[in-house]
Structures are given as C-alpha cells and as structure tokens.
Amino acid sequence: MLSVTGLGKRHPGAARPLFSELRFAVGAGEVVALVGESGVGKSTLLNCIAGLEPADTGTVLVGPDAADMARLDEAAAAALRARRIGFVFQAFHVLPTLNVAQNIAVPLLLNGIDAAEHPARIEELLARVGLAGFGSRWPASLSGGELQRVAIARALVHRPSLILADEPTGNLDPRTADEVLSLLLERVRASHAGALIVTHSQHVAQACDRILALTPEGLR
C-alpha cells in the first residue's frame, strides 16, 4: 500500500539532511508505528509521504499502480491524496461548520462519488465507529473521543489505500485513547488498507504490527 524508496529531505540552510535514503513499505491491512524523538523529522516524513512537502530525493508510491507522490505537482498530489489516503490527526480537525454526516462526506465529494451512495456509506461507517444516529449532530456537541471517531470514519469512507495518523490518541484520556486506538486498528485491518501511525506512545506503538524508529542515522 505504501512503498518508500531512497527518501531524503534537507531543510534550507541546515548543515545536514533531516533524513536520507529512507526505505520502507507498508502492506495491505498492516499497521506500522513510526516513533522517534521530537525534531527527528517524523512529521516531515509524513508530510513528504502525503505530498504536502517536497522530498529532495527518493520515491513514494501509494497504492497499486500509483504515480510517484514525490514527483507530483501540487494539484496532482492533492488528487492522489483525495483518492488514496485517509488522515487522522491529533487535533481531530473536524470542520465545525459542517455536521457529522457532512464531515464524513467530504472525501466522497472530493472523489466525485455519486451522492446517492453517500447516505448508506456514511450510516454504515457511523455504526461501525459507534456513532449510529450521530449524522445530524454538530461537532461542537461532541466529546474528544467522539470527534476522533468521526475523523476515523472520514479517513475510511472513500476506501483509501493508506491511512496516515499523526498522534491519533494524543489529545484523549487513556480509556478513550484505548477505545479509539482499538477502533482505528480494527477498521484499518478490516478495510485492507495500510496504516502509518506517528506516535510518542509506547502503548500505541506496541499495539501496531510493526514499529519503525526514526533516528538521526535513519530508520531502525
């Protein structure tokens, strides 16, 4: 689902590259944790994979027969993200002016999926993340755990090849974090997508199938 080869990045003016020659892959239904100290480049790596920041070297292939994300222009990268990637963020990032169903529908709209299909897909996902009947609720009325469940539903609704999650449980209390993590892992595996989860939490990392540690020397 994700294949990274020879990826390198150096910030302008920096003495040495943030990372270089990174090589790894994430398979279908596989959940990989990306750990490392602060400032080592985890978020930059995630941005490079998502096409939000240009890499200096290397290739990033997302899904089968995909173009190299690292070589796409802004518009093409956006189109590829819309089709192949689902995102889950630490700060939830649920649009406050759209209701729950509308938030989940955003990736469907971006992919031009027939509007007739939306209600069924959204209802099904809401049920699976434990929010059945929440479609017409507004984000302001939801708890942190509920907001992250909406984000997970949104990340999966368009059936992406890859889920990128940045500290998905960082803003949640331990019990809610456990629930959300279990849900995320279950839904990713059930959808046969690959997932790369950036985390500082050993607990989260241990729950994943594999752990990649990013260090100044490279991946371990």
Partner 1 sequence: MMRLGWWLIRAQFLARRGATALSMLAIALGVALGYAIHLINDAALADFSRAMKAVQGEPDVVIAARDGAGHVPLALIDLLSRDEAVAVLAPVIETRVRIGDTPMLVRLIGLDPFSAAQLMPMLLPDQANDAMGRLLDGAVFASPALAAKVGADTTVIRGAARWQTHIGGELPAAPAGERLLVADIAWVQAHFGPREGVGEIRIRLHPETPLAAWRASWAPKLPAGIELRAAADNQARVSNISRAYRVNLNVLAMVALLTGAFLVFATQLTAVAQRSTQFALLGVLGLPPRQRLLQVLVEGLAIGVPGSAGGLLLGFGLATGFTRVLGGDLGGGFFSAASPEIDAQTLPAAGFFALGCLASLLGALYPAWLNRIQPLAQALKTGFAQRQRPGAGHALGRDLLLILVLTVGALALTRVPAIADLPLGGYAAITLLLILGIVSAPLATRALFGALARAWLPAPQKIAVQNILQAPLMAQVAASGLIVSFALTVSMVTMVSSFRTALDQWLDAVLPAPFYMRSKAVPLPAELLADLARPDSPFLRVERMAASSFSLDPQRPAVALLVREIDRRQPGARLPFSGAVIDVAPTEIPVWVSEAMQEVHGIAVGQQLRLPLLGRDVEVTVGGIWRDYARQFGAVVMSADDYLALGGHFEATDLALWPRPGQEAVAQSWLRGEAQRLGVEAAASGEIRELSLSIFDKSFAITHALEAAAMLIGLFGLAVTLAASIWLRARELATLAALGFDRAMLGRAVVLEGAMIAGIGLLLGLACGIGVGAILTEVVNPQAFHWRMPLRVPWTQVLPVAGLTLLAAMLASGIAARQATRMPAARILAGAQ
Binding flags for partner 1, 139-178, as an x/- string (CB under 8 A): ---------------x----------------x-------
- Whole-angstrom distance, CA of residue 198 vs CA of residue 208: 11
One residue of 12, 65, 112, 136 binding partner 1 per CB under 8 A? 112
Q: Which is nearer to partner 1, 123 or 209 (CB)?
A: 123
The reply to whether 89 sits near partner 1 by the rule CB under 8 A is yes
Contacts 24+ apart (CB under 8 A), 78-81: 78/51, 80/51, 81/50, 81/51
Q: 107 and 162 in contact (C-beta within 8 Å)?
A: no
Contact call for residue 213 and partner 1 (CB under 8 A): no
- Bridge-based pairing of strands 31-35 and 210-215 is parallel
Pairing of strands 57-62, 31-35: unpaired
- Given 111, 123, 137, 139, the residue binding partner 1 (CB under 8 A): 111
Q: State which of residues 67, 98, 207, 213 lies at the interface with partner 1 (CB under 8 A).
A: 98
Q: Which residues bind partner 1 (CB under 8 A)?
A: 43, 47, 50, 52-53, 74-75, 78-83, 85, 87, 89, 91, 93, 95-98, 102, 106-107, 109-112, 115, 154, 171
